[in-house]
Amino acid sequence: MSVKLWPPSQSTRLMLVERMTKNFITPSFISRKYGLLSKEEAEEDAKKIEEVAFAAANQHYEKQPDGDGSSAVQIYAKESSRLMLEVLKRGPRIQEDEEVAVTADKDAATPANVFDISGGRRAFISGEEAGEVLKPLKVPGNSYTRICFSNRSFGLEAAHVAEPILLSIKDQLTEVDLSDFVAGRPESEALEVMNIFSSALEGCNLRYLNLSNNALGEKGVRAFGKLLKTQNNLEELYLINDGISEEAARAVCELIPSTEKLKVLHFHNNMTGDEGAVAIAEMVKRSTVLEDFRCSSTRVGLEGGVALAEALGSCNHLRKLDLRDNMFGVEAAIALSKSLSAFADLTEVYLSYLNLEDEGAEALANALKECAPSLEVLDMAGNDITAKGASSLAACIAAKQFITKLNLAENELKDEGTILIAKAIEVGCGQLNEVDLNTNAIRRAGARLLAQTVVDKSGFKSLNINGNYISDEGIDEVKDIFKGLPNVLENLDENDPDGEDLDEDAKEDDEDADNEDELESKLKDLEIKHEE
């Protein structure tokens, strides 16, 4: 069944306007430099951009109709992106007499409300040095609302110097970063330092709190108890690489009184396990405005995966989901697929190394196909996905007009699955700029077709097909395809032209070019299934 990509539906056009509006009003590196647009101005600019981009694409389509309209979609996306960047760099419209002040703000290395001592090499900080470094915080009437003590290791002496200073400014603070601030200290001293900081900051009204890289464990979490118990308005919480065990996860859940406003929650690289994940799931369930959830590399298995998946069903504002490197398995994947329908705003999803297999991958791909129209990143590497699962993945990918990054590395797609993916990319994916299919037992036919497909994508940056079974002739063909685009094709030094599949029934003779061509001929007519 052919897929008609142009013209886009009215709902798709409105969705693009909404997406651009959100980008304009969301703080970012660019907005810090050029200024943040008001909601009214953002909506006005987004509508104008969409209209101009649509007109340009439609004019192209009318003059050069190309069947499915894929080139018109590419122009629509490219023109929208170009005009968006112009508006972001223009910043908010201002009166001429304000321009000098705004220019001065742009040139400032650090905003006036940020106090940050994290620069330079990681080092211990003495009491005397702390008194000197923290001196700006003692200035009466200072405007600091965001402090970062990361990368400097505080002992008891330095903590006692910091304590009265923090007490004096805690009512004005909205963001506190204490990540990696007791490195190298004995446990007893580190816990006492945490208690001192926690007591000094107790009662402050924070929107952002980062306690990452402190090897907290349950003792450390409870050492920050006074601070955590008074946080009712947190929007961002980071507990990365903190030794968050089952008990520590329960302590976090117990101590924080409210997560109603929480938008970002990161638990990466902990030893949480299933029971800990169940505790985190209770926290997630209460975080109904959550936009960014990261629980990767946390030793979560089936039970914890199902609990997290079900809890995420209440988070219908989710934009970024990262569950990489856990042991979910098929059942947890199916549970997650049932929650995905709530994620209309999802733009990035990282589901690599979760033991999904074909059944889990198919369930997730089918669910993603029906939601997340603005999806930009899809990562399902290392999940034992074969050509069987690739069919559903291909249908999902073909439906995503805004996808920029696709990672299906370390699966078992082989040529059959790779060609399905390539055909999906060919019919859409106008903004795609990065594809990783390394280590997939791909041979000459699949590699060649994939290369031919992505090389025509405007702005394409990276293709990784290393670690496959591509013949020497196939390598030469792929390199020839990219000869005009240096640095786009990643290294092929781990490719094995004599590689053999472990499945005896699936072995192919890669030395015979005629067999390769025959295989490609058979596979190129495979259709991606689309529902009416």
Q: What is the pLDDT of residue 187?
A: 92
**Domains in the chain, start-ordered, CATH in brackets?**
10-90 (1.10.246.200), 385-498+515-531 (3.80.10.10)
Q: What is the pLDDT of residue 54?
A: 83
Q: Rank 5-19, 66-80, 90-104, 138-152 by mean pLDDT and report only the highest.
A: 138-152
Q: Give, in order, the Cα–Cα distances in Å from 17 to each of 38, 260, 284, 374.
A: 15, 28, 29, 11
Query: Average pLDDT for residues 137-160, to the nearest whole number?
Result: 95
pTM, two decimal places = 0.75
Average pLDDT, the chain: 87
The 10s digit of each residue's pLDDT in 106-140 is 334 567 899 999 987 788 999 999 999 999 999 99
The 10s digit of each residue's pLDDT in 373-393 is 999 999 999 999 999 999 999
Residue 454 has pLDDT above 70, yes or no: yes
Q: What is the pLDDT of residue 40?
A: 84
Pair 522, 445: CB distance under 8 Å: no
Q: Give, in order, the Cα–Cα distances in Å from 200 to each of 136, 179, 298, 387, 423.
A: 18, 17, 31, 58, 59
Query: Average pLDDT for residues 272-287, to the nearest whole number?
Result: 96
Query: Average pLDDT for residues 455-465, to the nearest whole number?
Result: 93
The 10s digit of each residue's pLDDT in 319-340 is 999 999 999 999 999 999 999 9
pLDDT classification of 527: cutoffs 50, 70, 90:
very low
Residue 493 has pLDDT above 60, yes or no: yes
Query: Average pLDDT for residues 426-445, to the nearest whole number?
Result: 94
Give the residue from 196, 171, 172, 170 showing the smallest Cα distance to 182: 196
Q: What is the pLDDT of residue 507?
A: 42
Please give the helix or strand (H or E) that residue 89 lies within, else none.
helix 70-90
